[in-house]
Chain A
Amino acid sequence: MVDNLPFLLNGFAMTLGYAAGALVFAMLLGGLLGTVDYAVHLWPVRWAIRGFVGLFRNTPFIVQLYIWFFGLPYAGVQLSAPVAGILGLGLYGASYVTEIVRASLASVGREQEEAGLSLGLGHRDVIARVVWPQAFAGMVPGLTNEAVALIKNTSMLGFITITELTLRTQQAISSTFASLPLYLTAGAMYLIVNVLLTLLARRLEKTLARGGRGSALNLGSRTEVPVHV
């Protein structure tokens, strides 16, 4: 068991690396697509994004992963396992992130957008300086769920020969037969990362809810100053 620990930790590091890479990819792509979906009112753009989201959210991740790695060679495109892994996880995650971002931006409301526009701000300025900052706090819980799901989904990368934690565990079991202790150890590793991640997200959420810049709450005293325009 203890002899196998470095072996598992090696897989764990691999898991973290793939998760981090795919997470960045998913957040960037999903953030971009969600913003475009919210801000651009052109039906071809909207249809393309809705199509992407619909396709990737409604098919199993493992099928998508197999297509990237085992399916594409059939069409003459051979992706390496790391590329297929990051791409597969990233696109799958991005489809969820897109929807979270779009919905959060929309929840800020038309009035806010119009208030920005009527000051003479450009549309991009309004999205970047009025809508996004107010939408972000609302995205955190959904994005955290997505990050947790993505980290768990890395366990399927073993199916395309990536030696992540779950595959390493199975390899260790096949030589030691200590299935229960090894699976429990692997489970604990996933658990630790995801719990840490969730706690971190909670703190971020609280900070954002407080306003982020420590504004002094002073609801009690309402200083009335005479009006002299």
Chain B
Amino acid sequence: MSDSSGHGSAEVVLDVRNMEMSVGGTTILIDVSFQLERGRTISVVGPSGSGKSTLLRCLNRLERISSGSVLLGGVHTDALPAPALRSRIGLVSQKFALFGHLDALANVTLGLRRTRHLSKPAADEQAREWLNRVGLAGLEKRRPHELSGGQQQRVAIARAAALEPDVLLLDEVTSALDPELVEEVENVVLGLARSGTSLVVVTHEIPFAAKVADIMLMMEAGQVVETGPPQDVLASSRPRSQRFFARHLRGWGDSITSVGSAG
């Protein structure tokens, strides 16, 4: 939810064109297209199994797309080797998967040292700074099992964000957490969005999806069925979308409309 007025030019950092993905005859993504402007945030919502994770995994090339193209900063990524691509399009998944043998600091420095080729002091310093930014100053020496779920997920976000990728993909980073830990992680994501990181955020938390994003994208059965500013998507007249939002906003009352329009 970076301020819409402040940006002069709208450089498209991520351009997904007609992306399709199928496994063994089953098509999982159908003709997915969207654009992300640099510094902006797209949230992706949709029912379970609609292909949200697959979309992110394709962008990070953990899965191969069957057709279509992904442009990063206007350049086709086909020719880019997977490690180079992945260091520019980061991914944090629901299972944060911190490296269990490394402390929080080393979890962050590993990527900085191996993919950014920083010296140890430089990597340490940058990692400290990032841990500080996600509110974990002082916990650098903790190993993953000595951290709460929310803290672990924040380390995972710092680990990916520290590489300063062009785009950071977040796949349901709060859904494996206890309810009371969700907010601290959402705040970190909001902070990233506000500080101008280009984000694609998959989440089941519709209010958060509306709050964090400039553009909301809804998927259904492998297709993008809604796209636009969150308040517009939430106000969609499409019956299936309405039912989806009704199901996911139960208990939120009218607060969501105000959240949506605040963006």
Contact = CB atoms under 8 A, between A and B. Distances in A.
B141 to A, nearest CB: 6
Interface residues on B, range: 35 or more
15 contacts: A112-B97, A117-B62, A118-B62, A118-B93, A120-B88, A120-B114, A121-B83, A121-B114, A134-B101, A215-B146, A223-B138, A224-B135, A225-B135, A227-B188, A227-B191
B217 interface: no
Contacts of B96: 115
A202 interface: no
Contacts of B191: 227-229
Interface of B: 60, 62, 82-88, 90-93, 95-101, 103, 110-111, 114-115, 133-139, 141-143, 146, 148, 151, 156, 159-160, 163, 184, 187-188, 190-192, 194-195
Interface string A61-88: 0000000000000000000000000000
Interface stretch (A10-18, A125-133, A146-154): A125-133
B134 A119 contact: no
B159 A119 contact: yes
B98 to A, nearest CB: 8
Given A119-B163, A121-B111, A228-B135, 9 more contacts: A114-B62, A115-B97, A118-B60, A118-B91, A120-B115, A130-B99, A130-B110, A218-B142, A224-B135
Interface string A16-41: 00000000000000000000000000
Interface string A186-229: 00000000000000000000000001000111110011111111
Contacts, number: 107
- Interface residues of chain A: helix, strand, loop or mixed (majority): loop
Contacts of B156: 115
A116 interface: yes
Given A112-B97, A118-B90, A227-B134, A219 B146 contact: yes
Nearest to B183: A227
A6 B23 CA distance: 69
B101 A118 contact: no
Contacts of B90: 118-120
Contact of A119 (B86, B136, B138, B195): B86
Given A118-B90, A223-B139, A227-B184, A218 B111 contact: no
B236 to A, nearest CB: 31
B137 to A, nearest CB: 5
A118 B88 CA distance: 10
B86 A120 contact: yes
